[in-house]
Structure 1
Amino acid sequence: MADFDLAIIGGGLNGVSVARDAAGRGLRVILLEQGDLGSAASSASPRLIHGDLGLLERRALLRVRTALAERDIWLRIAPHLVRPMRFAIPAHSDERPPWLLRLGLLLYDRLASRTQLPASVTVDVTHHPIGNALKRPFGTAFEYSDCVVDDSRLVVLNAVDAAERGAVIRTGARCVRADRLECWRLAVIDRGHRRVITARALANATGAWTTSVAETVLRMRPPDVRAAQMSQIVVRRLFDSDNVYVFQNADRRLIFASPYERDFTLIGTVGHKFKGDPAAVSMAAADVSYLCDAVNRYFREPIELFDVIRTVSGVNLAVRADPRAAGDGSVAFDAGRRKPPLLTIFGGDVTTSRRRAERAVSRLSPFYPMSPRWTATAPLPGGDFQWPRFDAEVDAARQRWRFLTEAQAQRLAAAYGTRLKAVLGEAKSRAELGPGFGPELTAAEVRYLMTTEWARFPDDILWRRSKLGLTMSAGDREALAAFMAAMGADRVSKPG
C-alpha cells in the first residue's frame, strides 16, 4: 500500500491549493517544497483579486465573469486577506476615450451582477480626493470595485488549512527522482536526509521549474510552454487616498499603483519573455524605468530610479499554443493502464487559483472515492467572519490587547483574522510577548510562525509571512536571526 494517495511537488499557490482541496476531500496528501512556501512567483504577483479589465477588450467575457465570481468567493472565505478597494482610472486625452471606459465598466458591473461591492461611477477629480495626487488637467476619472490580496499569506494559509485537514507539508524537502511504477516512488532529500515516499498519484506544481522537473525528476517529455517574467516596484507612499489607481499607458497596458504596507506604493506590472534560471530572476533597469515613466504621466510628484525601495519579480508559465489562457493557468492529466496518475498544474493568476486546484483534484475522482467539491464555501484559517466586519475585528483586537496600536492591530488582524489569540494568547502587555524585533514583530509571533506556519529563516517571516523587511533595521534582523537559530536548535534537541 502506498504511503499517500497524492504527492505534490511544489509549494507555491497552485501546489498548496491542490493540497488543501485534496485533503479536504479525504485524500492522504503530502506536499514537498524544496525551499519556503510561496518563495517564487506566488509572492511576486500584482496582489489583485479581480476580473481583469484587459480581458474585456479581448472579448473574453466568460473568463471575466468567472474571475469575478471567484473574487466574491475569496471575499467570503478569506475576508482578512482579501480587501475590497475602489479602483480609479483617470481619463487621459491620448488614450481610450471616456465613453469607451464608461461602457466597459458598465459591462464589468453587469458581469458581476450578484456582488455586494459598489458599482462603477464617474468622478470629478477636481473635487475628489482621488485628484489630489494627480497632475492637472485630469478632470474625470472612473471608479469601480475590485480587491487586493496578501498573496504570500494566501499561500501559507492554504497550507495551514491543508495540514489541519490531514495533509503533510514538508518544506526544505527536494524531490530528486520520481519513478512511475505501480505507484509513484519518490526519492526525497528532506533537510539533509534521504527518504523514499510512495504515492498513488503525483502532481507536478513546481511553477517555473515545471519543465526542468519533468525532464530531470520525472524523466518525461515536458509540456510546451513559454515563460514570462512579471515585475513590480515598491516606492514610498505616493498618495493619501485609500484606493488603487489604474493608469493607461501609451502602449495600452494598464499599470496599477496600490497602497502597500501602509507607508509604501506597489506599482506594476511589466512583463516580457524570460529565459534563464527562475531562481535568479531580477528586474532590469529598463523595466524599472518603464514603470516610473508610466506613473509619471499621471502623478504630480515624480519618481526616479533612486526612489525605488524594492523590486519584485517572478516567472510564470503559459501553454505556448494558447497564450490567451495565461490567466486561467494549465491543468494537464496523464494516466493509463498500470500507470499511476500524473497531474501537471502551472501558471494562472491568483484570482482563479482555487478554481484551478478544484478542477485538478476533480480529475482524480475516477481513481479515488472522494467527497464533493467544498473549497468555495469553507473559510481559510482566521477567515470565519464576513468581510464588512473587518474593522470590527480590528476594534475587538484593540479591546482585548490594549497595548496594540491601531496600525499594529490592523496588521495582525489582516494576517491572522480570528486566530489572533493563537499568536498573542492572554498577554496583558507587550513585554509578555517576549523580545521585540523592531516596533512590530515580537518573539510570540515568531514562535507561532515557526511552529505553525513553517517559517525557518528570517526572510520567511520578513518577506512572506509579513513584509516587515521593508522597515526592519539591520540590528533587528541580526537579533531575529539569532533568536530563530536558537529556537530551531532547541526544537531539534527536544525529542518529537
Structure 2
Amino acid sequence: MRDLLIVGGGINGAGIARDAAGRGLTVTLVEQDDLASHTSSASTKLIHGGLRYLEYGEFRLVRESLRERERLLGIAPHIIWPLRFVLPQTRSPRPAWLVRTGLFLYDHIGGRRSLPGTQTVPLDGACGEGLSDRRGKAFVYSDCWVDDSRLVVLNARDAADRGAEVLTRTRFLSARRDADGWRAVIDDGGAAREIRARILVNAAGPWVADVLGRVPSNRQRPGVRLVKGSHIVVPRLYAGEHAFMLQNPDRRIVFAIPYERDFTLVGTTDEPWTQSPGPATIAPDETRYLLETVARYFARPVAEGDVKWSYAGIRPLHDDHAASASAVTRDYVLDLDGEGAPLLSIFGGKITTYRKLAEHAMATLGPWLPASADWTAGQALPGGALPDGDAEALVLGLQASHPGAATARLRRLVRAYGTDAAAILAAGGEDLGGGLTTGEVDHLVAREWARTSEDVLFRRSKLGLHVPPGTRERLDAHLSRAAARVPC
C-alpha cells in the first residue's frame, strides 16, 4: 500500500512527489508520456512574479510568485538565473505612470532580496539596441530564466532518490475506493497492473478532467479552461543578454528572450483550446501574430521562413469565467474530495509556484498523513549545490581539470547538470555530434528517464537546435542499443 499515487509527470506532479518523498511517505508517480512532455516544457522559460497579473488584481499570486522566485533561484542556480527585462514605453498602450506604479509594487510586495530593482534607461543606449524606434525611455526590471523541462526532471529525480517510484510512459486507467484506500489500475508497458494507495493525487494537467472521469464520484468539480500558448524561435534579433517585454496594441504581452546563444525566443500567445487534450502545435495565425510583434518593435526583418523552431502547450487553467483567454487566472485551485479515501485534484497554477503548490497540497492532505515539516525551500535540487551559487566558478574549475574540453561545452554541462557535470565529463564516450556524448546519453537514460531522441535533444537539452545532420540517427541507434541492455 502506497501513501500517494500521483497521476501526472509535469511540474506539479513532480513537485508533489519530491515534497512527499522527502517527508518519508511512499510515493508512486505515473506519467503517460515523458516527464514534462506537454505543458511543462512549453512555457516561456520564466520564473517570474507575473507583472501583467497586477493589472487583473492578482496580488496574492504575484506576491507568492515573487517570493518563490527567490527560493527557486537559491535551490537551482544551475538551471535558473537572473534576467533583466527591458519594457519600452515608445509603443505602450499603458501610460508610463501606470507601468511605473506596477513596477514599484513588483519591486516591493514580494520581499525582493538578491535581484536588482527597477531602473529607467534611455532607449538610445545599450538596452535599446536592435529596436527600430530608439527614442524615449524604457523601464528595466528583474525576473529569472529557467530550463523548465529540466526543472521537472530534477524534481522527479530528487523524489526517486528519496524513495519514490517514477513510472513514465505509463497510463492511468481507472481507480475506485475501497475500505482501505484506492485500487488504481495502470497500463504498465501494455500490461494492466493494480496499485493500492491511501491517497490519489490528480496532477494530470490538461487531462485533469479526463482522470476525474475515470474515478466514480457524485461531486461537482471545478471547471478547467484550456488555453494554448505558442512560441517561435528565430535567429538572434539583438545583442545583449537582456530580454524585452513588448506591449501590443491589444494590450497583450509578448516576450523576446535570448535563447540558446544564437536565437531569440518570442512568445506567448493565449488562444482558447476547445478540442480534447493532446499534443499541440502553433497555428498559422499565432505565427503571424508573433511575427507582427517582432516587426512592430525590432529593426531586423523576420519572415515565416526564418522561424527555426516552434512549440505550443495547453495550459489547464482554473475556469474563473474571465472574458478572454489572456485574463484567465494563473492561480491554482486544490480540489479535495474527502468522501472516503482522499482525492486531490490540481487545477491551474504556473511553473513559478509549483513548490509552494506542493506544500499547500501536503497541508491539505495533512489530516490523512503523519505530521511532518515543510522542507523543500532550503534543499537544493540535484546538481544545484553550487559553491556560493556560482555556475561560472564551477566552469573555471572544470576547465582546469579538463583542459582539452571546449568552454562552450563545459558551460552547457554546468548549466544543465550543475555539480553533476564532472561525472558526465568523466563518463566520456563517443561524440554523437554537437558535444553530445554517449556517456551523457547513458546518464540521461539511467538517471533521468530519457528513452527517445526527442527526450534527449529537446527536453533534457536544447541540442536539437545545434547538432549537425546525422546526430539524431546516431542517437537513435545508441538509444536502441541501450534499451536492449535493460534487463526484463
Work out the CA distance in 1 between the residues paired with 2:284 and 2:167: 36
Following superposition, the deviation at residue 231 of structure 1 comes to: 0.9
Q: Which residue in 2 is equivalent to 1:59?
A: 57
Following superposition, the deviation at residue 93 of structure 1 comes to: 4.4
Work out the CA distance in 2 between the residues paired with 1:94 and 1:268: 17
Work out the CA distance in 1 between the residues paired with 2:186 and 2:142: 45
Work out the CA distance in 2 between the residues paired with 1:247 and 1:106: 19
Q: Is the 2:383–2:420 Cα contact (8 Å) retained in structure 1?
A: yes
Map 1:217-366 → 2, pairs under 5 A = 223-321=222-320, 326-336=329-339, 339-366=340-367
- Percent identity between the aligned chains? 44
Does structure 1 residue 404 correspond to structure 2 residue 405? yes
Task: Give the secondary structure class of the aligned counterpart of 1:444.
Answer: helix
Aligned-CA RMSD value: 1.7
Post-superposition CA distance 1:405-462 (Å, at most 9, x none): 221111111111112223222x6xxxxx111111220001000000000111111111
Change in Cα spacing, 1:218 to 1:264, as seen in structure 2 (3 Å) is: farther
Q: Is the 2:67–2:111 Cα contact (8 Å) retained in structure 1?
A: no
Change in Cα spacing, 1:227 to 1:404, as seen in structure 2 (3 Å) is: same
Following superposition, the deviation at residue 346 of structure 1 comes to: 3.2
Q: Is the 1:90–1:138 Cα contact (8 Å) retained in structure 2?
A: no
Farther off after superposition, 193-202 or 272-281: 272-281
Map 1:81-100 → 2, pairs under 5 A = 81-93=79-91, 95-100=93-98
Post-superposition CA distance 1:349-408 (Å, at most 9, x none): 111111111111221111111420111111111111366512112212222222222211
Following superposition, the deviation at residue 189 of structure 1 comes to: 1.4
Q: Is the 1:206–1:213 Cα contact (8 Å) retained in structure 2?
A: yes
Task: Give the secondary structure class of the aligned counterpart of 1:265.
Answer: strand
Task: Give the secondary structure class of the aligned counterpart of 1:384.
Answer: coil
TM-score calculated relative to the size of structure 2: 0.95
Paired residues, number: 482
Q: Is the 1:125–1:141 Cα contact (8 Å) retained in structure 2?
A: yes
Work out the CA distance in 2 between the residues paired with 1:138 and 1:259: 23
Change in Cα spacing, 1:385 to 1:463, as seen in structure 2 (3 Å) is: same
Work out the CA distance in 2 between the residues paired with 1:35 and 1:247: 34
Following superposition, the deviation at residue 486 of structure 1 comes to: 0.5
Farther off after superposition, 244-253 or 100-109: 100-109
Q: Which residue in 2 is equivalent to 1:148?
A: 145
Task: Give the secondary structure class of the aligned counterpart of 1:373.
Answer: coil
Q: Which residue in 2 is equivalent to 1:480?
A: 475
Following superposition, the deviation at residue 319 of structure 1 comes to: 2.2
Q: Which residue in 2 is equivalent to 1:73?
A: 71
Change in Cα spacing, 1:89 to 1:191, as seen in structure 2 (3 Å) is: same
* Runs of 5+ unmatched residues, structure 1: 428-432
Q: Is the 2:333–2:348 Cα contact (8 Å) retained in structure 1?
A: yes
Map 1:423-434 → 2, pairs under 5 A = 423-425=424-426, 433-434=428-429
Q: Is the 1:92–1:248 Cα contact (8 Å) retained in structure 2?
A: no
Q: Which residue in 2 is equivalent to 1:430?
A: none
Change in Cα spacing, 1:322 to 1:59, as seen in structure 2 (3 Å) is: same
Change in Cα spacing, 1:401 to 1:217, as seen in structure 2 (3 Å) is: farther
Find the partner of 1:169 among 148, 166, 169: 166
* Runs of 5+ unmatched residues, structure 2: none
Work out the CA distance in 2 between the residues paired with 1:180 and 1:71: 38
User: Structure 2 counterpart of 1:438, which letter?
Assistant: G
Post-superposition CA distance 1:317-350 (Å, at most 9, x none): 22223656732222111113xx111010132111
Farther off after superposition, 286-295 or 213-222: 213-222
Task: Give the secondary structure class of the aligned counterpart of 1:95.
Answer: coil
Q: Is the 1:211–1:223 Cα contact (8 Å) retained in structure 2?
A: no
Q: Which residue in 1 is equivalent to 2:451?
A: 456
Q: Which residue in 2 is equivalent to 1:491?
A: 486
Farther off after superposition, 378-387 or 286-295: 378-387
Change in Cα spacing, 1:113 to 1:341, as seen in structure 2 (3 Å) is: closer
Farther off after superposition, 53-62 or 250-259: 53-62
User: Structure 1 counterpart of 2:460, which letter?
Assistant: R
Q: Is the 1:176–1:217 Cα contact (8 Å) retained in structure 2?
A: no
Following superposition, the deviation at residue 34 of structure 1 comes to: 1.3
